[in-house]
Structure 1
């Protein structure tokens, strides 16, 4: 898409597009929805981690010696509850030693401003320790609509002491306005997503979108 920050990466892959179509479809059942969210999280994890620092070591197979590779930095995963939890397991399959710190944030719908990245988001839970103990952070927010929740979480990470250059925001779907708003407030942030939709309603809903990810993951329709 034109006019997006060069730090916004849209993953172009036929499997990603097929899986996204499954989670968009209102007829998709809860089990297939959860599995497809996990698959998309796995794709995002692979793509967004491609530049992690490595170091080599000497090892042996049953028939000979080899030069191996292992990941150097310690990784922190910060899923935004509830929906971000659905993206944790695919990351842990790739990086089983990653630390997971949950953030509970929600938008105040009465005062919602569609593209505002300010204080229309309320924190109700944080599992961050007092000082950072990770080198890189992956913020997991499946849907970036207005961008307010992502911006609030990113500011918390900065206040925690992790520089924005060591943070990546991973989202399955974003609105153009929301992604642009996040990029504007954090111009050095890398954002990885599967797709960006053009329409954001006055109620902060992405169109065509994919519905409420938290409700669809947990089979709790009309929970809010």
Structure 2
């Protein structure tokens, strides 16, 4: 789909299949989410700009590549976003972290904000927003709008699963923000869940209902 980058790496797809299985335990789901988020982070940061600095190896001095610019910001859409956040921080431990607290009203399916905390200089950093599901897209759209209001202008959205309806709605609201996902599933059901999906990521990660 236009505006969505599907990460088809075999390890990503294999781990996602195990996560979809309803028989996978809470412990297993949590471990796999951390593992798959590291792989997804690798892909979403593939084109980061590089600079060069002088270092000395045990044999000689050289010009070696290093990340250019200010450190990244990972923006977690609470609560399930923290499952992706942990694995990404394993790969990029120096990244700054923002938290956007939203929950979906079960009747209207619209996001309700309860918390927001982010670095001050978002306009100078790449912000990668993380949330396992892009279903109705309401929460993702609201989170990114909040970050834009705080001056973020270089944003990417990373999720584990997306629905076609969510991708279309997200692209309409934020056409400047690319989506990275491991899968675009078939559809949303009448309750706003992705089908075939993997259930509620937060509940499966924390063992709640």
Any residues of structure 2 matched to 1:191-202 within 5 Å, and which? Answer: 191-202=179-190
Q: Deviations over 1:169-210 (max 9, x none)?
A: 000001111111101111121110000111201210111111
Q: Which residue among 153, 163, 178 is the counterpart of 2:143?
A: 153
Any residues of structure 2 matched to 1:71-220 within 5 Å, and which? Answer: 71-73=67-69, 74-112=71-109, 120-129=110-119, 132=122, 134-163=124-153, 166-220=154-208
Q: Does 1:43 align with 2:31?
A: no
Q: Distance in 2 between matches of 1:157 and 1:133?
A: 10
Q: Distance in 1 between matches of 2:93 and 2:65?
A: 16
Unaligned runs of 5+ in 1: 113-119
Shift of 1:89: 2.1
**Higher mean C-alpha displacement, 59-68 vs 74-83:** 59-68
Q: Normalization by structure 1: what TM-score? A: 0.88
Q: Distance in 2 between matches of 1:123 and 1:36?
A: 28
Shift of 1:52: 1.1
Unaligned runs of 5+ in 2: none
Count of residue correspondences: 208
Q: Distance in 1 between matches of 2:122 and 2:56?
A: 36
User: Hey, which bits of structure 1, 4+ residues long, moved more than 6 A?
Assistant: none
Contact 1:77 1:99 in 2 (8 A): yes
Q: Distance in 2 between matches of 1:101 and 1:13?
A: 28
Contact 2:97 2:118 in 1 (8 A): no
Contact 2:135 2:193 in 1 (8 A): yes
Query: Which residue of 2 is the match for residue 54 of structure 1?
Result: 50
**Higher mean C-alpha displacement, 138-147 vs 86-95:** 86-95
